[in-house]
Structure 1
Amino acid sequence: MYRSRFPERLRKDLYRLGLSEYEARAYLSLLTEGPLTATELCSRAGIPRSKVYEVLRRLAEKGWVNPGDGRPARYSARHPREAIYIWRSIRDREIRKYEEEALEELERLSAAVQEREDILMIMGLEAAVSTIARMLEQCDEEVFLALPPELTEGLDDLLRPMKGRGSKASVLAPSDEVALRVLEELPGALVRVKDDMFGGGAICGTSEVALLLGRGRAGGQYLTIKADHPGLAALAKNYFEHLWSLSRGVTK
């Protein structure tokens, strides 16, 4: 049974550099005892005779050994610095080739993903407020905002991104008190009151929408659907306009 006399750390470093166990054994034996014939290397490095020529061929291709001359051929190890320099150059060329091939395919996949309409499902009320606030912060189109009672705890977070923005805003509030707060923060907004809203959310322009659907069942988490989807945004806008038609003006 072969027992290596070389430090385990050194052998592991060679493995990390891309040498197999047999290749590392062969190189270390040739470096310290070479030049050696294939037969001598078998006994010194514990490499099966059926594999030794394949191991030597791969080491020569990687730049770690010099192919032997004569009969029988005697193989020698390259100086470590030279061997690592050659091997690094070979690997760099291979990596550049793989990078170019992979980059072309990855860019194609990335373009396909960007073209796909994404729909996200978000759990929890705090996550809902954060998601809607982030959407409003990035929105530079007309905003439609329906505020059920659940969202009023995060009202400041929802209104902050809309302050000082030139975009038009229409807001449905669940009470006169909330409506007055909205008007105070957003003087130019159109605000009405809808007392018994179920769910709510926000619409940005004609495609981006975040819909708070409520708990679903007693004790369940709030569910929000966030999408960049013109069809879903149009459906939400129609429902918002329906609620708007059933709403009332603000009572001071």
Structure 2
Amino acid sequence: MEKAHRLLREFGLTEYEARVYCALVSNGPSTAGELSKLANVPYSRIYDILSRLEARGWVEAQAGRPSRYRSRDPAEVVKIVKTEEEKRLKEAGEALLKELEPLYSRRAEVKRPDVWVIRGEKNILTKIGEMLTRAGIEVLLSLPNVPQEISGLKSYLSLLEAKQIPVRILASKKLNLRSLELPRKLEIRKRENLFGGGVVVDGQEVLLILGSGN
């Protein structure tokens, strides 16, 4: 019966409770005195143990003097334990959600990024300038087309160079960046074709440039 005792302990019974239930399953209806001997449990503890088992629905008491006790069918007991566990998990889950869900929702709301749609070349360049001013780690630029007005960003690029913040530029081979007289320490790479442009600042702010011409 050692394996049965171990499994019953996993179901939440104490060692004495497991012994008493196994004794009832093996020997059938018995008195408290008989169970004390069969299960090798002190007689002073037997009524307390039977009372707890009866409260959990594992044992039933038969009328008479002396009272006799019988075990519930193990299949019924497993169903009882399963129902109790499901109820416990449901209540614990609901309580946990009540405590943590508001915190998660507030965090998600704080983390949700702002998305803006900016139209017009002047507005876009102004936004890029704002982003470059906030840079503290690195700046990535992708330039498929460089309108002449981008020369207005040279002051920002020079400031980044002075602050020793790396600036990496990916540009189309068609562009003549020398004519813009950009700071010399920029890391510039070129590709044959680029199909979009944008700015990434510190891996946190992103501006995507869509469209062509005007």
What is the aligned partner in structure 2 of residue 182 from structure 1? 170
Contact 2:143 2:169 in 1 (8 A): no
Instruction: Tell me the alpha carbon deviations over residues 129-166 of structure 1, each in whole angstroms, 9 at most, x when there is no partner.
Output: xxxxxxxxx88556635486xx6xxx9xx66xx799xx
Instruction: Tell me the alpha carbon deviations over residues 22-78 of structure 1, each in whole angstroms, 9 at most, x when there is no partner.
Output: 221111011001311122212221223333222212212222111232121111111
TM-score (norm 2): 0.54
| Structure-to-structure mapping, 1:1-252, within 5 angstroms | 6-7=1-2, 9-111=3-105, 113-114=107-108, 140=115, 144=131, 146=135, 172=157, 174=161, 181-184=169-172, 193=183, 201-204=202-205
- Equivalent pairs counted in the alignment come to 157
Partner Cα distance (1:180, 1:111) in 2: 37
Instruction: Tell me the alpha carbon deviations over residues 5-38 of structure 1, each in whole angstroms, 9 at most, x when there is no partner.
Output: x13x322221222222222111101100131112
Instruction: Give, as a single letter, the amino acid of the residue that structure 2 aligns with 1:76.
Output: R
RMSD: 4.2
What is the aligned partner in structure 2 of residue 208 from structure 1? none
Q: Which has the larger radius of gyration?
A: 2
Q: 1:62 to 1:13 in 2, by over 3 A?
A: same
Q: 1:51 to 1:106 in 2, by over 3 A?
A: farther
Contact 1:60 1:66 in 2 (8 A): yes
**How far off its partner does 1:93 sit?**
2.6
Structure 1: stretches of 5+ with no match in the other structure: 1-5, 119-137, 165-169, 206-252
Contact 1:64 1:77 in 2 (8 A): yes
Q: 1:109 to 1:147 in 2, by over 3 A?
A: closer
TM-score (norm 1): 0.47
Partner Cα distance (1:163, 1:78) in 2: 78
What is the aligned partner in structure 1 of residue 191 from structure 2? none
Instruction: Give, as a single letter, the amino acid of the residue that structure 1 aligns with 2:170.
Output: V
**How far off its partner does 1:83 sit?**
1.7
- Aligned residues with identical type, % of pairs: 30
